[in-house]
Amino acid sequence: MSLPPPLTQHIVRRPQRIALLQHIAEQGSITRAAKSAGMSYKGAWDAIDELNNLANQPLVERVVGGRGGGGARLSTEGERVLRLYQRLQALQAQILEAAEDSSDLDLLGRLMLRTSARNQLHGRVSAINAHGHNDQVTLMLAGGLTLDAQITHDSTLRLELQLGTEVVALIKAGWLELVAVGDALVCGHNGLLGRIDQILADEEGPSEVRIILSNGQTMCALCEPQRLAEQQLQAGSQVQVQVSPSNVLLGTPL
């Protein structure tokens, strides 16, 4: 089996996010792993969130009271992906030709995608419904969650989307709105139930809010402190994450 040149080039290089898996495995501490990888502690956790969201199963797990603080370890799936990448790096073309499962290579391609969007969710197209010049594309995310994206019909054709196509949904943090559980969502908008894991205050702007969805994936939203206070939202609160389908961008491997 041969791969298109862009994906082959990405795999041969050592992307920082994939390398972070190796550092976590070696250091047993997110703090030391971040330092070893030349990343900030926050940057390391952002990378871990992206890895976990893009994989079908979490690659990194938190460990309460880990050595050096901020403990983390590779899950069984994370260890498997790291072993796969190490084999690909060591054998390059031979392994690429002999790979048993193309989905593993597709997974590596998703993990190496670079984008400015903070939220990257892997999904599979489960429905495409035409609405004039636009299509409503429904994605099945991990854990049975669904997410709707509205794109032009030309985009559907250009991305060659059909039922079962694997895609990455990209959503900027500023496009998400937090809604208290029980409050009504805007008609036609996506609503994903989750729990606020952490709120990072910013003296010069909105707070950064990390939300863990019911399927274990993590999203990042920006929210003004006043709105958080009005809705009585704090770390540990259940919350609905609302986003318009028109603000969900879709990407597919080259």
Helix (H, G, I), strand (E, B) or coil at 18: helix
The pLDDT assigned to 134 comes to: 94
List, in order, residues 6 or more apart from 29 with CB less than 8 Å away.
66, 67, 68, 69, 70, 71, 72
CB of 242 closer than 8 Å to CB of 221:
no
Handedness of CA 48, 139, 112, 151 (dihedral sign): negative
The pLDDT assigned to 1 comes to: 38
The pLDDT assigned to 45 comes to: 85
Report how far residue 75's alpha carbon sits from residue 7's, in angstroms, rounded to the nearest whole number: 25
The pLDDT assigned to 113 comes to: 56
Q: Which residue has the tokens 């498997």?
A: 80
Domains in the chain: ranges and CATH: 5-111 (1.10.10.10), 116-254 (2.40.50.100)
> Hey, what are 176's tokens?
């998400």
pLDDT tens for each residue of the chain, 254 residues long: 343 333 233 334 435 677 888 889 988 888 888 888 888 888 888 888 888 887 778 888 887 654 545 578 899 988 988 887 777 666 555 544 544 555 666 666 666 555 666 788 889 999 999 988 999 999 999 899 999 999 999 999 988 999 999 998 999 999 999 999 999 999 999 999 999 999 998 888 899 999 999 998 899 999 999 999 999 999 999 999 999 999 999 988 65
The pLDDT assigned to 4 comes to: 34
**Other beta carbons within 10 Å of 186:** 12
